[in-house]
Amino acid sequence: MTSVFLTRLDSPIGRLELVGDDVAVTALTIERDGVLPHDGEPERSNDVLDAAREQLVEYFAGTRTEFDVPVRLVGTPFQQAVWRELERLGWGEAISYGALATAVGKPGSARAIGGAVGANPVPIIVGCHRVLASDGRITGYSGGNGIPTKLWLLGHERIGFAA
């Protein structure tokens, strides 16, 4: 049986909650309206979550541009293909929903791509904030407080976008 671990940290975009098992981060949640999914539960960290926590602190401080903690992304084969492409994006890089659709072999499926991007269980570490409309506009963000959270992350990575 796998153990479940939990830790939290403060960040410029609100409190973050990390969930993991013995070997990988399985979820990262950005608080929405001051609430995290497991607020009532005590923290119980492990080496993986401690490393993720440290890397996130460094990311927000501007001293880390890539993550190397193990993540376990559970989803459909289509979602997993989209998330693998997101993992390839680096600090400061952006991609459009259409280009992402083409990259996973499903051109013309930008709407389905949006659903998969929004279902990413480990935002920031797997940079779903780096996906923009084909004209560079921000079309939405499901993490934290939505578009303001995405705006902060894009600004932090100096990713340009259309207003």
The residues annotated as belonging to the active site are 128
**What are the distances in angstroms from CA 53 to CA 2, 8, 22, 41, 89?**
21, 8, 15, 18, 21
At residue 10, φ and ψ (nearest 5 deg) are: -85, 150
Contact 113, 100 (CB under 8 A): yes
Residues 6+ apart with CB under 8 A from 151: 138
Whole-number Å distance between alpha carbons of 12 and 28: 15
**What are the distances in angstroms from CA 137 to CA 109, 115, 143?**
18, 17, 17
User: Angle at CA 63, nearest 5°, toward 32 and 138?
Assistant: 45
